[in-house]
A and B are shown apart, each in its own frame.
Chain A
């Protein structure tokens, strides 16, 4: 069994490991099979965008990666460590996987700074000073250095989502999961969040992004995956898939959203 230590980066058991490696993943909600044998890979430093109609299972796939949903069967490896191994320390694993939600999920009773430091001090056991330093660095990265004393209720949706990204980054994640990060935003605020994500991608962050932003997928994504009905219908180079979809279902989906 591989142990995950608190302060060291996750030590891959297999040096050539993919950042995310999903093998034959099935997921049922009751009798409803929402994932029907998914094989899915994200290489280190790769940005993979997952698109598809609602109910296609794309969010469920993403939430299986950090075990917010428990897979019914199949295997998932993150940085070479088997997530689906019952002996794995889920909390330590999750602290290495940043996640950004559609609904932001900032802690409303804490200031922005506290939102960014609480897990650093309570989970990563960093000193107060160090965690504040890390938090400030990340707030600066998302362009909100002046908001550290604000409460979430006083921020716009776009600002909240950037704080949420900074909060995830403050744990020094190995990879980042984005679950429709711009879907709850007013259209004019989407750009700020996407540009933060773009900076992150160019810094070499490994990213899995469930999104409806085809422009982002084309420009930033290394790979585009189209899901429908619990299966991966088609995947490949984003520009190629978007311009020249091979399957009927991909074509009909893209004709509706583009």
Chain B
């Protein structure tokens, strides 16, 4: 049977729709829905999570992430400027920091700064307890990643911008602060948001420090709930809570990108 190219394309398209439909149907038929609902979405267990999961776990996840991100952003900017410095030792120090904290798993950094620090310097402690430690540990990891992003953003600002600022009599530093860095941040807004989303998820590693109940963040909360109820429902609720944080972030950034695109 001879088919025209166009006909073949149409058949191929419907064949794909059919395939997807068959897979979905097979899953629907094969799944034991009552059992699934009981293990993943038990209504009374869902109800039991609220409101404390918001008031404690979600709130703590946001606090830990915000502290680490703020710290990481400031240190990342400093590291980026050090990497671009004409003074060798600044560049080497920044490179060493970045390679170290980018190369180590975040969990190892938490261990080093939590139990490790306490053992090595028994007379000192990191201020602000667990929040201080998570800020320092997660923030350092974030700073290492963000430093490279910020540096790339600074280098992506056209050279003429620095020249125009210098021509007006601005010093190098003034031109960086007023002209180059603000433009760099517009360029790197999307990758920075990615970093924020990654930090949100990595804040779960704080469990390694040992937490009091009112310090629980989402993952710890979910695991404790799961163990207590011998049911996966708490973890599913936690999953939704993470999405409540991350999906709006993505939307906000898409809006900001569209806006700065218009201003360009």
Q: Do A and B bind each other?
A: yes
Contacts from A to B (Cβ < 8 Å)? 66, 68, 91-92, 94-99, 101, 103, 105-109, 118-119, 122-124, 151, 153, 164, 167-168, 171
Contact between chains at B163 and A108 (CB < 8 Å) = no
Query: In the assembly, what is the distance between CA of A122 and CA of B169, in Å?
Result: 9
10 additional A-B pairs beyond A119-B170, A153-B264, beta carbons within 8 Å, are: A68-B163, A91-B170, A96-B169, A101-B160, A105-B161, A107-B165, A109-B186, A122-B174, A122-B178, A153-B262
In this complex, which of A106, A109, A124, A167 has the most chain B Cβ atoms within 10 angstroms of its Cβ? A109
Interface size on B, residues (CB 8 A): 21
**Across the two chains, which residue of chain B brings its CB closest to A95?**
B169
Q: List the count of A-B residue pairs having beta carbons below 8 Å apart.
A: 67
Query: In the assembly, what is the distance between CA of A109 and CA of B163, in Å?
Result: 16
Contact between chains at A91 and B169 (CB < 8 Å) = yes
Contact between chains at B263 and A123 (CB < 8 Å) = no
Query: In the assembly, what is the distance between CA of A66 and CA of B186, in Å?
Result: 30
Chain B, range 171-212, C-beta contacts under 8 Å to A: 171, 174, 178-179, 182-183, 186
Give the residue of A94, A118, A151, A153 whose beta carbon is less than 8 angstroms from that of B167: A94
Give the residue of A96, A101, A118, A167 whose beta carbon is less than 8 angstroms from that of B163: A101
Query: In the assembly, what is the distance between CA of A98 and CA of B183, in Å?
Result: 23
Chain B residues within an 8 Å CB radius of A66: 167
Chain A residues within an 8 Å CB radius of B264: 108, 153
Chain B residues within an 8 Å CB radius of A171: 168-169
**Across the two chains, which residue of chain A brings its CB closest to B171?**
A91
**Across the two chains, which residue of chain A brings its CB closest to B264?**
A153
Q: Does B12 contact A (CB under 8 A)?
A: no
**Across the two chains, which residue of chain B brings its CB closest to A114?**
B178
Contact between chains at A109 and B164 (CB < 8 Å) = no
Contact between chains at A94 and B263 (CB < 8 Å) = no
Give the residue of A105, A109, A164, A168 whose beta carbon is less than 8 angstroms from that of B182: A109
Contact between chains at A94 and B178 (CB < 8 Å) = no
